[in-house]
Amino acid sequence: MTAHRSELAVDVRGLRKRYGDLTAVDGIDLGIRAGEVFGLLGPNGAGKSTTVEILQGHRDRDAGEVFVLGADPAQGTRAWRSRVGIVWQDESAPAELTVRETVQHFARYYPRPRDPEEVIGLVGLEAKANSRIKALSGGQRRRLDVALGVIGGPDLLLLDEPTTGFDPAARRQFWELIRTLSDEGTTIVLTTHYLEEAEALADRLAIVTAGRIVAEGPPAALRERHGTGATVEWTERDGTPRAEHTDTPTRTVAELTHRFDGEIPGLTVTRPTLEDVYLRLTGQEDAR
């Protein structure tokens, strides 16, 4: 392995995966640094989950090179697997066990697990620790899924739509958990349909469509690079609202300042959001 590769928690080159006539992953390259929070965005069927499954060693690839924590996932040993945590979109745990029993049970699978009580608290299930899983709500079960993903104290955590079913308060609590894990040095790969979540958590993002990465970089850089202009809005002297989409908003504001001889009534300048960029790059602009 090269020195460059040894610095990466995830190093993927030319990854490809087909299901019959369907190409799910079509030549993806990824380099994810240790300790980084990396987001994969894309519509359903774009290839995100398949990529995550290959990184975890759950699914074979058809072509390409993949190194995760220095090893090929397809040949991952038990020791290697203990260093990778994962939260799938759909999880199931024994319905008759309590939350505490389940977390304690899964902790025994790992050589250096986190404290079960600490993990239960991190995902906000203290009040449900003695409740049976079958009595939990959907959002509470999802929190338990996250607990089982982090109980082993993984070096790499793979999260596939982890906050589906969370209410806003639970989602914010989950964000704090991710920030805590990142501060501790955990590398995190996150797929999500929540653009606000991706922007709040990810150091870098890759936007995937039709099995290919169409854009990659920090959220702010993606907005700057792929956003198209800005919208300047103001109110005319007679009270008529006006709006202009322009690639030179500073010049437009300067012209308006001169015309109004100072303050511009109702002035707002709106630049493209990450959602705007995402919808344009994935060909879904008309879906808004």
Please tell me the predicted confidence (pLDDT) of residue 285. Answer: 64
Residue 6's pLDDT band, with cuts at 50, 70 and 90, is low
Summarize pLDDT for 102-122 with one digit per residue, the tens: 999 999 999 999 999 999 998
pTM: 0.83
Which residue has 């850089």 as its token pair?
Answer: 221
Percentage of the chain modeled with pLDDT above 70? 95
* pLDDT tens-place string over residues 165-204: 778 888 888 888 889 889 989 999 999 888 999 999 999 9
pLDDT confidence bin for 91, thresholds 50/70/90: low
Domains of the chain by start residue, with CATH: 1-81+185-226 (3.40.50.300), 227-287 (no CATH)
- The pLDDT of residue 204 is 97
Residue 237 has pLDDT above 70, yes or no: yes
CA nearest to 52, candidates 77, 25, 75, 76: 25
Q: How far is CA 128 from CA 30, 99, 136, 187, in A?
A: 39, 7, 8, 29
Within 10 Å of residue 165's Cβ, how many Cβ atoms? 16
**What pLDDT, in 10s, does the model give residues 32-85?**
999 999 999 999 899 999 999 999 999 999 999 999 999 999 999 999 999 999
Report pLDDT for 2: 46
Write down the pLDDT at residue 247: 84
Q: Describe the chain by its helix, strand, coil percentages, rounded to 5.
A: 40, 25, 35
| Distance (Å) of CA 187 to CA 37, 38, 43, 75, 179 | 6, 8, 24, 20, 11
The residue type found at 145 is D
